[in-house]
Amino acid sequence: MFFLKLAADALAQNKKAALLIGGAGVAILGLGLGYKYLRKPEKAVRVGVVSQLLIHPLKSGKAVPVALAECQKMGLKFGELQDRHWMMVTEDGHMVTGRQEPRLVLVSLTCEGSQVCLNAPNMEELRFPIKQPDNPVLNCRVFGADIQGRDCGDKVSHWLTHYFGAEKTYHLVHFEPHMRPRKPVEKEAAYQKFEPVAFPDFGPVMLLSEASVKDLSSKLEKAVTVERFRPNIVISDCEPFDEDSWEELQIGSVRLQRVMSCGRCIFTTVDPETGIISRKEPLETLKSYRLCKPSEKHIHKTAPLFGQLHNVKKTGIFQVGDAVYKITR
């Protein structure tokens, strides 16, 4: 009798467990089906075509056009070239950009195999290894935020210092995969939405349309090119400033999420072909018709808006010629 009672109790417990598990399963299934039918379906609308992909390996340096790129969380990558992963700094680690040294826009950094190649007008090409693990890691500053970079060596330092004819000593640093990326120091909630990056000013990806540049050029005495604004993705087959309203985009296998418009500064007055800074145009003209709404003045202040900064929601690959789709729900 004792064994029969044990068996009966076990059966009763198993029935309760089975009912509980079954009930939980039905609830989960119900939630899943509810989410499926309540979730708004995505709609993809073609809004343009990728006409250029530009990687700027050296912050403020010459752009490297590529036909295809991998889009990672920290920006565009092609082979060993990664966007804004090299930067010129002073001896105390503060960033140096085209704002301080306009001729930096003429310096080209490319990679061949395991070597970095530096070129600039009236300078002999300098090659050095991408990986130099024995070199010191420098503590650097980018817009008030701390970040590390591997010193690329004394030969590179001498090359840069000679090119700029500077009394100061400049160094080149490289952001390596194991290093900690930085977030903006700005406390505004909009800036805090940016994904961590290496040496870009803010977001990992900047997008601009050809039509917007053409619209600006029509208001100037001398036309400007997209290179002056240093985008990563250039879009054709759309109207001027259409990109302002693209909150979420699908390009190739990449999904981008807009964070904010790109506020423009004195750097836009550096001619990418000559390295000469005018300190006037096209910035003055942009200020005449591209200032932010009063409600956004605490974010952008007096900076005119031109181009859009995006986070990478889904990594992947895209290429020149890819259709650009605006995602709505």
How would you list the strands of the sheet with 316-319, edge to edge? 81-82, 75-78, 68-72, 316-319
**CB 248 within 8 Å of CB 242:** no
User: How many C-beta atoms lie closer than 10 Å to residue 239's C-beta?
Assistant: 12
For residues 190 and 18, what is the distance between their CA atoms, to the nearest angstrom? 49
- Angstrom CA distances, 108 to 15, 62, 173, 313, 322, stand at 73, 5, 15, 30, 27
Give 287 or 16, the one with higher predicted confidence. Answer: 287
**Can you spell out the DSSP letters for 253-315?**
TEEEEEEEEEE--GGGGB-TTT--B-SSTTHHHHHHH-PPPGGGHHHHTT--EEEEEEEEEE-
| pLDDT at residue 220 greater than cutoff 50 | yes
**CB 269 within 8 Å of CB 277:** yes
For residues 234 and 39, what is the distance between their CA atoms, to the nearest angstrom? 32
Confidence of residue 300 (pLDDT cuts 50, 70, 90): very high
The pLDDT tens digits of the residues spanning 147-186 come to 999 999 999 999 999 999 978 999 999 999 999 999 888 8
DSSP strand pairing (75-78 vs 68-72): antiparallel
Percentage, residues of the chain above pLDDT 70: 88
CATH 2.40.33.20 fits 44-328, yes or no: yes
The lowest-confidence range among 86-100, 117-131, 174-188 is 174-188
